[in-house]
Amino acid sequence: MHSSVDKPATNSAETSSSSIEDLFTRIAAQTPEAIAISDRGRQVSYGTLCDCAWTLSKQLVDAGVGAGDFVALSLERGTDMICAMLATLMAGAAYIPVDPRYPSERRAFILDDSHAVALIKDSDESGKKGPRIDLIERTVERQAATSTHGRIAYVIYTSGSTGKPKGVMVTHHNVLRLFRSTADFFEFSSSDVWCGFHSPSFDFSVWEIWGALLHGGRHVIVPVETAKDPQQFAKLLFEQAVSVLNQTPSAFRNLIPSLVEQGIGADLRYVIFGGEKLDVAALRPWASKFGMDRPALINMYGITETTVHVTHKRLAPGELEQSDQSPVGTPLSDMQIRVVSASGETLSAGSAGVMHVGGEGVSAGYLRRELLTAERFYEAPDAEGVMRRWYDSGDIGMQLENGEFVCLGRADKQLKIRGFRIEPGEIESLLRNDPDVIDCVVSAADFASDDRRLIACIVVPHASLQSRDQILRRLKSLTESSLPTHMCPSRYFLGTEFLMTANGKLDIDAYVHQPQQHSPTSSEASVHELVRNVWAQLLKSESFTNDDEFFDQGGTSFTLIKMLQTINLIFDTHVRPDALSEGITVSRLAGLIHKQRQSKTA
């Protein structure tokens, strides 16, 4: 790394361990008093976390869970979740994170598909604290959490092309070698502070959790409500002296204005991007404020099937002008990439093709999906004749003459609307010419099974929201006068930040289910009407009064967050869940909106 990034002393933990829990236990024995987790004001030491995990592990073993079993974990992100991960590994089993905010149908599918023998979840008994173990009776033979590629550590379910999620099996070896292969580049140590921004069901969390705990560092839990509030998240980063920040590019776009306004702490060493293609041009506001020396901005390419990361690239100022490419750098020391043509030939530098990833990070494949595993994973010699395991990523990339790689998007990145193939970058570039547009993303969205449309998600300054109608008319005129009809977005959404999913990616569904935007009037009656429209779309019902309680009408904590995101976007307000402690009704919410808007104009 460049000398401008300080290099703290590395810890003394051995890296020859054969399992995650073995290495963690060694570190806990060396530094039992060191803080492992900061969780909403609670400090948990390595010794305490290790004892907690061993206790829960014994309960699992006593309940019949053993080597080779799968255990599902459906807990909120926090100390209990990490304790359950460690306990499962200590019992010889593999863990499967199941986000409690998933729809019940998806949770049930994962439990059934994985053949999990136990479910660890938050205790629902009053007065009881800590996780609860529910055994799952199975009439089918247990599937062992082992493979010819080693002992399985975890299974993360990702979206499947058939509409059914598929479980990716990742081994202990896959995870341990990830940190060995990045050691020289990052020089992580026990003095580093990592934050847990992502859901454990998203593989970026593997890097965040074990990156801290397998180096003897500190892992800071980011509550879900804080992760969705850029100002609160920026405050947490500063207060907790975070040194390693991991973000999807979409999430970081939302965070930049808050960090520019608040400033960053001197401890921040790295901002690491992953999870989706990086638009480097979006980093210009950050670079103009903070430069690019410290913290270093690192872009990493990877896939769940290849254990989080495959490459690393430290970004330089000149690269922020390359808006058509996402520079991902060079492979980790034990990984390789070859760019393959449609006919299967390896392409030379300068030619674009599908990236096939080979090396020690390639996972064991898909759980109980032998045919799909055989289709996407294969064994083949590398350029030096060494047999390696490879994965067909489906991502389009190219190797440059200097040996680095750039990611050009998915093989299916081009959008197809009513038979027309559309490159969204062309439309985004046009919209960014408008003086009020800070950032934008153009995407395809399904409004019905046969109704696929282009939408434009646009970020503008707070002050510009007062002229919403004028900006919308201007943008529509701009696209209609410059682009063919099939390239003009059918819906435009304006806000001061992008709407994000729990995994830090653009939440297309949240945009699709918003009412058509227009400038709200000052009348409270109009506010009530718009709030009712939002509720009706989320609750799939209109049979409620203005004084009915949100949760009594079928609302959940997940739909509450989505509802407030939409409300705040429409009215340019900042209503938080804790402001509705006396109850959530249309009338109370409309009153809060009216009050906040009045205070802004006072």
In terms of domains, do 20 and 140 share one?
Answer: yes
Residue 266 lies inside a defined structural domain of this protein: no
Indicate the DSSP class of residue 460: -
pLDDT of residue 39: 97
Q: What's the half-sphere exposure (Cβ side, CA atoms, 13 Å) at 391?
A: 22
Domain region containing 532:
524-601
In terms of domains, do 471 and 533 share one?
Answer: no
In terms of domains, do 134 and 33 share one?
Answer: yes
The per-residue DSSP string of 473-500 comes to HHHHHHHHHHS-GGGS-SEEEEESS--B
Exposure string for 473-511, b = 16+ CB within 10 A, e = fewer: eebeebbeeeeeeebbbebbbbbbbbbbbbbbbbbbebb
Give the Å distances, CA to CA, from 303 to 170, 180, 202.
12, 18, 11
The per-residue DSSP string of 280-296 comes to GGGGHHHHHHH-SSSSE
| 459 contacts 497 by C-beta, under 8 angstroms | yes
pLDDT of residue 414: 55
Summary mean pLDDT of the chain: 86
CATH of residue 564's domain is: 1.10.1200.10
3-state secondary structure 182-251: CHHHHCCCCCCEEEECCCCCCCHHHHHHHHHHCCCCEEEECCHHHHCCHHHHHHHHHHCCCCEEEECHHH
pLDDT of residue 469: 82
31-46 pLDDT, tens digit each: 999 999 999 999 999 9
Give the Å distances, CA to CA, from 492 to 164, 282, 496.
31, 20, 13
CA angle 559, 561, 564 (to 5 degrees): 105
435-462 pLDDT, tens digit each: 999 999 998 887 664 567 889 999 998 8
**Does 507 score more than 90 pLDDT?**
no
Sign of the C-alpha dihedral computed for residues 29, 32, 35 and 36 taken in this order: positive
Non-local CB neighbours of 574 within 8 Å, separated by 6+ positions: 568, 596
**Does 5 score more than 50 pLDDT?**
no
CA 136 centroid distance within chain: 29
Tally of domains in the chain: 3
Tokens 């460049």 sit on residue: 2
Q: Which of 132-146, 273-287, 378-392, 451-465 has the highest mean pLDDT?
A: 378-392
In terms of domains, do 50 and 139 share one?
Answer: yes
Residue 461 lies inside a defined structural domain of this protein: yes
Give the Å distances, CA to CA, from 445 to 187, 460, 505, 546, 564.
42, 21, 14, 31, 21
**63-67, 293-297, 320-324, 361-365: the lowest-pLDDT one:** 320-324
237-287 pLDDT, tens digit each: 999 999 999 998 888 988 988 898 888 988 999 999 998 888 888 888 899
| 396 contacts 352 by C-beta, under 8 angstroms | yes
In terms of domains, do 458 and 551 share one?
Answer: no
Angle, in degrees to the nearest 10, between helices 204-213 and 20-30: 30
**129-143, 189-203, 494-508: the lowest-pLDDT one:** 129-143
The most distant pair of C-alpha atoms in the chain lies apart, rounded to whole Å, by 73
From 492, 512, 532, the end of a domain falls on 512
- Average pLDDT value for residue range 204-226: 96
Sign of the C-alpha dihedral computed for residues 258, 260, 261 and 264 taken in this order: positive
pLDDT-based confidence at 28, cuts 50/70/90? very high
pLDDT of residue 34: 98
pLDDT of residue 125: 54
By the 10 Å C-beta count (0-12 exposed, 13-18 middle, 19+ buried), 556 is classed as middle
Residue 219 lies inside a defined structural domain of this protein: no
Residue 447 lies inside a defined structural domain of this protein: yes
Q: What is the pTM of this model?
A: 0.74
Q: Which of 151-160, 293-302, 506-515, 567-576 has the highest mean pLDDT?
A: 293-302
Q: Which helix (H) or strand (E) holds 172?
A: helix 172-181
pLDDT of residue 549: 81
Residue 366 lies inside a defined structural domain of this protein: no
CATH of residue 437's domain is: 3.30.300.30
pLDDT of residue 7: 38
pLDDT of residue 522: 41
From 144, 172, 205, the end of a domain falls on 144
Calpha distance 210→208 (Å, rounded):
6
In terms of domains, do 466 and 570 share one?
Answer: no
Residue 563 lies inside a defined structural domain of this protein: yes
pLDDT of residue 571: 81
| 239 contacts 283 by C-beta, under 8 angstroms | no
In terms of domains, do 538 and 501 share one?
Answer: no
Phi, psi of 196, rounded to the nearest 5 degrees: -90, 80
Nearest residue to 78 via CA among 243, 223, 267:
223
Parallel/antiparallel/unpaired status of strands 439-448 and 451-459: antiparallel
| 169 contacts 365 by C-beta, under 8 angstroms | yes
CA 306 centroid distance within chain: 16
Phi, psi of 99, rounded to the nearest 5 degrees: -60, 125
In terms of domains, do 114 and 55 share one?
Answer: yes
- Average pLDDT value for residue range 551-566: 75
Residue 424 lies inside a defined structural domain of this protein: yes
Q: What's the half-sphere exposure (Cβ side, CA atoms, 13 Å) at 490?
A: 13
In terms of domains, do 459 and 548 share one?
Answer: no
In terms of domains, do 25 and 123 share one?
Answer: yes
CB atoms within 10 A of CB 378: 15
Calpha distance 447→500 (Å, rounded):
18
- Of residues 347 and 601, more confidently modeled: 347
pLDDT of residue 9: 40
390-440 pLDDT, tens digit each: 999 988 999 999 999 998 876 654 565 654 557 788 788 889 999 999 999
Calpha distance 237→156 (Å, rounded):
27
In the chain, % of residues over pLDDT 90: 50
pLDDT-based confidence at 568, cuts 50/70/90? confident
From 483, 512, 541, the end of a domain falls on 512
In terms of domains, do 496 and 533 share one?
Answer: no
Residue 528 lies inside a defined structural domain of this protein: yes
Non-local CB neighbours of 36 within 8 Å, separated by 6+ positions: 28, 44, 45, 46, 48, 49, 212, 213, 218, 219
CATH of residue 122's domain is: 3.40.50.980
In terms of domains, do 23 and 133 share one?
Answer: yes
**Does 519 score more than 50 pLDDT?**
no
**Does 149 score more than 70 pLDDT?**
yes
